[in-house]
Structure 1
Amino acid sequence: MANPIDIVVAGGGIVGSTFAAALADSPLQIHVINADRPSPWQEHHYDTRVSAINLASESILSSVDSWQPVRERRVAPFREIKVTDTPQGRCCASTLLILASRISDTL
């Protein structure tokens, strides 16, 4: 078999992309499979989805040289996050979890 694939990463989001980037210097043949093609960064496009990145996430992203590009784009602390089980956080979800905590204003 020519060019065997050692690892298939299902999903090219934050976790899948970071995992693939962490293995990029290995001799393994890695393929990332994602439902959609990645879209180019659009400075003025806003999305209601967020990612909560803690210090451990920052460390992992730094190790694959991805933290600085993340910091250069709309990074901001948050005071409250609502997690629902419906697409785009629609109202009246069967499960609603509200997490609120005090966080530092500095990243």
Structure 2
Amino acid sequence: GTLGRALVDFQDTLVLNFDADWPYVRCHGQWSQASSRELKENIADLSSQEAFEALEGLSPVKFNLKADEEKLPCLGFIAEDAPEIIASRDKKAITNEHIITILAKVVKLSHIR
């Protein structure tokens, strides 16, 4: 069913702002991504080459959201232009956790050198 601007389906999925006409979503608290080893398989280190290539493939941009009447400035990435490792399968979204992982790897490597 729906709750305000959220859609909850009974497959354990919560979709916020299912129409693209609501420019901002605010969380009062923390988003946490499940990350337990118990949930994962095929665990392998991200190579430095993969991390550097993904970072080099990112093009940070500034923009306004079309649905935002105030046209507040935003910073981010264009999903359609993002490296495959960062963009969603349909190239309509960015996986922020992937960007954080890539940045952590690159920063860690820069401190080692």
Give TM-score, length-normalised by structure 1: 0.23
Structure ranking higher in helix proportion: 2
Give TM-score, length-normalised by structure 2: 0.22
